[in-house]
Amino acid sequence: MAIWRISENGVENVAVTGLEESITAVQFAPGLSPEGKYIITAGLENGLVEIFSFDAATNVFESLQKLDRSTAHSRTIRRLRFRPVEGAWQSGAELKENKMCWELASCSDDRCVKVHRIEWEASSC
């Protein structure tokens, strides 16, 4: 996965991170982490989803989380989409104070759409 900066002087590659599988879908979260980093998900050819933070000040990627294989797709992921706002499902589930929560939908060649609830400590971003 690569991040490019577009400016008046042209286009510049500022960061690259490699994965063992081909990336087939990418989605940015609709907001930044509390530390001001971008949250980016990558859907992979093997059906897994990996979540990264990207710090635009230092141009550094960090892997935050890989979604559990037991909830993964069995075939290539084709599209990822975050719920437009941070928060929990409408089920009334409580969220602990220091946690971020996003909902991410994924669809795959396995003909399934899955909705993942992603939580992690805000300080880990």
Q: Dump pLDDT digits (tens) for 35-57.
A: 899 999 999 999 999 999 999 99
Q: What is the mean pLDDT of residues 94-106?
A: 74
Cα–Cα distance measured from residue 84 to residue 110, given in angstroms and rounded to the nearest whole number: 25
Query: CB of 113 within 8 A of CB of 57?
Result: no
Task: Please indicate, yes or no, whether the overall pTM of this predicted structure exceeds 0.85.
Answer: no
Helices (H) and strands (E) counted in the chain, each on its own, are 0, 9
Q: Is the residue at 59 inside a domain?
A: yes
Cα–Cα distance measured from residue 34 to residue 55, given in angstroms and rounded to the nearest whole number: 12
Output the pLDDT for position 117: 84
Q: Is the residue at 15 inside a domain?
A: no
Q: Which structural domain range is residue 53 located in?
A: 20-121
Count of domains forming the chain = 1
Query: CB of 104 within 8 A of CB of 118?
Result: yes
